[in-house]
Amino acid sequence: MNNAQEYTIEETLDAEGLLCPEPVMMLHNKIRDISEGQVLEVIATDPSTQRDIPKFCEFLGHELLLSEERGNYYHYHIRKCEG
């Protein structure tokens, strides 16, 4: 998922300190608010997001551009696709 593709992050969702299912619920609401093709960054501290966010993207057809652990934080870059 970490690739050399260049893109611009248009929005950030801070889910720090939130536990399942809150990060994915917030992601669902936030992704509705952005336009197709825009990239959303999600920053979370709940390890379950490593399972839940990729499944969310797969199920709803969004492109997961980055999934990365940095210290105690999990970073995701998601491109909204048509849907």
pLDDT for position 66: 98
Residues catalogued as catalytic: 20
75 CB burial (10 A radius; 0-12, 13-18, 19+): middle
Region 24-29 average pLDDT: 97
CATH class, domain 9-79, is alpha beta
**What is the rounded distance in angstroms from the CA atom of residue 23 to the CA atom of residue 16?**
9
Give this prediction's pTM: 0.92
Terminal C-alpha separation, the chain: 21
pLDDT for position 5: 75
Q: Which of 63, 66, 68, 55 is nearest to 80 (CA)?
A: 63
pLDDT band at 68 (very low <50, low <70, confident <90, very high): very high
Instruction: State phi, psi for 71 to the nearest 5 degrees.
Output: 65, -125
**Domain boundaries defined on the chain:** 9-79
Report whether pLDDT(3) > 60: no
